Structure 1
């Protein structure tokens, strides 16, 4: 069934932040670097997807945007449409695109049936044709185990995997967190799980625009401490505390707020930074490599992509994880802290004084990756080729 060149579609629902899109873009970059004839179509709900740089062979279809409330409920972000109408619009858009693109493999990030089950008819169409293998891609930690088991049972996620997905790729190291065991997956579902290893950000494609933006900051010589708030939509408390932190002498702080940082909080941050000669602010970088290479220490939230950046560049880091509505960031941070790779500060203990104390305490050495499997991007091209050439496993109903 394999055609030449190979075609891969990567879906992410992206109702909050940029994490899913960034992870799929990293995967697409790795796949096209290994096979320049491969075509990768990213399907994303992130409106800022145009801010990223796409290598040859990769393009992007941006769906009308959904927004996820703090309660977990979805709504239209901009269009005056009901949630049902939005789901139908997004599903029909994907159906038309994938029918024309005819992918060998579809990689779905995190949610088996997509936001508000918008992938259900898409998966049925692709699987009935018999030409597309489907992969569910999961980050290393989804939430604390009891919450995941309850949610997966309520949504019948195992049933969806059984019907539509040939493999489940976990972008993690089971030596840190064994997803199949922790979440007590059924034996037939666990048999489809393949651990890729963590996704090493240091090996991915460079972005010259990010280096140019960093150069314009004109950072002075001396230590640099970087504050990362992910997409920024829930990073105000961390950024506010960092903005009030006294740095060690000669140290410069750089805050990367993320594109979704609230405008009301941004005005306060600009006033704070304007009163300090040892602080710089950025809203967005197409990639963080140049900034993290320059950093001596990092203070960050605990999302998957951010933590992978911290681990990839082997920087001394303090993670201040989000603890609700999901415990994902806290669980990941605690597991990695137990292995000595990062330090953790619970958000209930977040103060400028706590951050200053950590910055002054240099007793911890730079973390080593000897105990971590960081070869995920290296393995994915071979895993993809193997899957594309295989017979389907999932049931077609």
Structure 2
């Protein structure tokens, strides 16, 4: 909900995270126990990638423990007042909230560096949104109004006139909800806006990455090959016409360069289409062996697009007269190998800004959970191993 505790419990217990969140909300509204359980889970569950917990560090934090102990007298006072006024709900609701506040103190003082950054950058703004006088005044008014509404709601719930017993719970609940919205609403809206902005930025970055891969697969590759073939006018014309076909297909049919598009429905059809296109455009033999077949998913289309780039690289740069492609459909994954016996290269020496391997192969595969292994050495040819999980079979 706030610190990823629900996600951690969901992962550990194998329960849908939505159910975990609903459980915490119901426990919190019903008796306040949900707040305490959440704080305890935050204390006792380690952050992903870490082995120590906040609690293991908090046991040696003497000042933090003293601050927690200082809360106990306030809790005792509230319990005495609740008992004297016969407000049982206040008494049962206060102890988990006070103990959760003690847990929050220990969390704030003993959180890991990553959690402290998150608390300071995201959680603390919930309590204050700025340092100027106007912002502080707005915060004070908000909190005061929230307290008034919350206390009023609790009083309506517990001390209303018997004749209005049927309406008392509804009115009190509405006042409590209004108090929560007044105090926390601006922070929630800010958090939603930040999440939306982050999602939009991530989508734009992914779109730019895909665009870079498409441009590399078409224009940049062809321009590089034209420079190498400047003394062969017929070959240059053939390359230019092939590039023109690809760009027209991209602009008017929506099929980006270097992709299989919707023409193929199965893996074998896609590999066969790639084989015919590359043999026609580059004049090199592509020997294909496919074991098994399956319908194409988005991940397998990315596999085909990455394999096409690997075959094109071999056709353009290896110097070999033939490229071999072997694909095998397994129960939970599809394996595809592209091999040539050309001049080879040193994968470690490829600059990071070269987009052929980085964007057109690796990025395409990793975007859908696939993997890439490149084996090559100078004078020994090259092999590109592509693996893509068949997610539709994963339960």
Structure having greater relative contact order (Cα 8 Å, sep ≥ 6): 1
Higher helix share: 2
| Larger proportion of strand | 1
TM-score, normalised via structure 1 length: 0.21
Question: Normalising to structure 2: TM-score of the pair?
Answer: 0.21
Question: Whose radius of gyration is greater, 1 or 2?
Answer: 2
